[in-house]
């Protein structure tokens, strides 16, 4: 089976983690600091704060930005549930804005009508590795004095107009094993804002500034030095991994272009899309339904996945909270999307197997 994802770990990761184990210093320490410095420098921000998951990064980024009870945060319903849940963790309310038909990212033209006096922040998601329309979103934030927090959990190394995703506002990253780079579990917050960075460091570690001096209510969201050691190795390979994803996507898109009813991913002209996922639309003109296509691909040894089968507001949790949104572009996307393998380690013959399976 050609799996949709698998982490790419080599001897250097094994050696790095063994060194940490032998040192006996396992919790957040010097490796984590090194990883933070390297990550900040890669993204182009002054600060980076490591956490033990992308979800924790989102939670801390929102809290450190001052989001709390009664605030509204505008976000995309077409994402992993962690994006919206992090807003709920803060006692704030996610406000869903429909997505763009082509990019699957939040549609900036629909944001203004959802802004109220309670709106405090916009939390766009760079879905599948493609940056959102950051110029337009940044304009809206400036106009309405809103905080910008980016869910870049799928967009390590992605760029908008030559600037890295996660460097426009407060950036949040995940290093879960399926992401473009991994630490097992892990996350990172990136920012140029010194006071947000300082607050984030405190929130990650029980609100402490100095050793056992606790100023605010915080959490244990610390990264381990084992995870950080893996992260340092992975960051060194990220550009190469991403380039191979881009090349694989280019090949697949070219081959799919001629198939009736299959829509290859759209790439915005001024972005570097790093193809966390290679997601096609299975339209009505295609000979099979999406589920039949999945089944048939699986019979031909090709894995696939649906990200995401439901807009977040349709999840039980949100229905119970009283959400009754019905955003047409998100609804349609949830019915039509199918992600195919685009992993950096796919061989040419595997890429050809994927195309052959689609043609059959």
Ligand X SMILES: *Cc1c(COP(=O)(O)O)cnc(C)c1O
Binding-site ranges for ligand X (CB under 6 A): 53-55, 79-80, 82-83, 125, 151, 153-154, 174, 176, 187
Nearer to ligand X, 154 or 279 (CB): 154
- What values do phi and psi take at 254, rounded to 5? -60, -45
CA distance readout (Å), 260 to 255, 283, 359: 12, 9, 10
Nearer to ligand X, 51 or 353 (CB): 51
Least distance between ligand X and beta carbon 315 (Å):
14
Least distance between ligand X and beta carbon 189 (Å):
12
CB-based contact 227:20 (threshold 8 Å): no
- What values do phi and psi take at 173, rounded to 5? -125, 155
Least distance between ligand X and beta carbon 165 (Å):
12
Nearer to ligand X, 47 or 176 (CB): 176
Least distance between ligand X and beta carbon 156 (Å):
11
- Here the tokens at position 185 are 């579990």
Least distance between ligand X and beta carbon 301 (Å):
26
Nearer to ligand X, 172 or 233 (CB): 172
Least distance between ligand X and beta carbon 175 (Å):
7
Nearer to ligand X, 53 or 167 (CB): 53
- Here the tokens at position 265 are 């991913």
Nearer to ligand X, 183 or 353 (CB): 183
Nearer to ligand X, 311 or 358 (CB): 311
Nearer to ligand X, 278 or 286 (CB): 278
Least distance between ligand X and beta carbon 119 (Å):
21
- Here the tokens at position 271 are 């972005």
Nearer to ligand X, 160 or 286 (CB): 160
Least distance between ligand X and beta carbon 101 (Å):
19
Least distance between ligand X and beta carbon 64 (Å):
17
Least distance between ligand X and beta carbon 55 (Å):
3
Which residue's CB atom is positioned nearest to ligand X? 54
- As a three-state string, the secondary structure of the chain is CECCCCCCCCHHHHHHHHHHHHHCCCCCCHHHHHHHHHHHHHHCCCEEEEECCHHHHHHHHHHHCCCCCCCEEEECCCCCCHHHHHHHHCCCEEEECCECCCCCCECHHHCHHHCCCCEEEEECECHHHCCCCHHHHHHHHHHHCCEEEEECCCCCCCEECCEECCCCCEEEEECCCCCCCCCCCCEEEEECCHHHHHHHHHHHECCEEECCEECCCCCECCCCHHHHHHHHHHHHHHHHHHHHHHHHHHHHHHHHCCCCCEECCCCCCCEECCCCCEEEEECCCCCCCHHHHHHHHHHCCECCECCCCCCHHHCHHHHHCCCCCCCHHHHHHHHHEEEECCCCCCCHHHHHHHHHHHHC
Q: Which of 294, 335, 293, 342 is nearest to 311 (CA)?
A: 335
Nearer to ligand X, 183 or 248 (CB): 183
């Amino acid at each position: 089976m050609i799996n949709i994802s698998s982490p790419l770990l080599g001897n250097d990761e094994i050696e790095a983690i063994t060194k940490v184990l032998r040192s006996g210093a396992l919790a957040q320490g010097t490796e984590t600091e090194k990883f933070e410095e390297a990550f900040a420098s890669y993204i182009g921000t002054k600060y980076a704060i490591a956490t033990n998951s992308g979800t924790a990064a989102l939670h801390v980024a929102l809290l450190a930005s001052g989001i709390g009870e009664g605030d509204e945060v505008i976000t995309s319903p077409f994402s992993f549930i962690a994006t919206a849940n992090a807003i709920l963790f803060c006692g704030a309310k996610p406000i869903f804005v429909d997505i763009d038909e082509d990019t699957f990212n939040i549609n900036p033209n629909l944001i203004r009508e959802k802004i109220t006096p309670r709106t405090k922040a916009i939390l766009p998601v760079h879905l599948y590795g493609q940056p959102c329309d950051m110029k337009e979103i940044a304009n809206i934030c400036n106009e309405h004095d809103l905080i910008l927090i980016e869910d870049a959990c799928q967009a390590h190394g992605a760029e908008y107009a030559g600037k890295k995703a996660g460097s426009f506002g407060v950036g949040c990253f995940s290093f879960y094993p399926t992401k473009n780079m991994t630490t097992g579990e892990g996350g990172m917050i990136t920012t140029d804002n010194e006071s947000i960075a300082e607050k984030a460091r405190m929130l990650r570690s029980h609100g402490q500034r100095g050793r056992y001096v606790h100023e605010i209510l915080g959490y244990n969201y610390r990264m381990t030095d084992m995870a950080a050691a893996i992260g340092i190795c992975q960051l060194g390979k990220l550009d190469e991994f991403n380039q191979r994803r881009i090349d694989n996507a280019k090949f697949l898109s070219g081959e799919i272009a001629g198939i009736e009813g299959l829509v290859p991913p759209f790439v915005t002209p001024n972005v570097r899309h790093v193809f966390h996922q290679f997601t096609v639309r299975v339209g009505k003109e295609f000979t099979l339904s999406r589920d039949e296509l999945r089944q048939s691909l699986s019979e031909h040894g090709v894995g696939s996945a649906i990200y995401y089968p439901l807009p977040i507001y349709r999840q039980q949790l949100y229905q119970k909270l009283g959400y009754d949104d019905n955003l047409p572009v998100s609804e349609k996307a949830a019915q039509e999307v199918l992600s195919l393998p685009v992993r950096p380690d796919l061989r040419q013959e595997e890429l050809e197997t994927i195309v052959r399976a689609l043609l059959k």
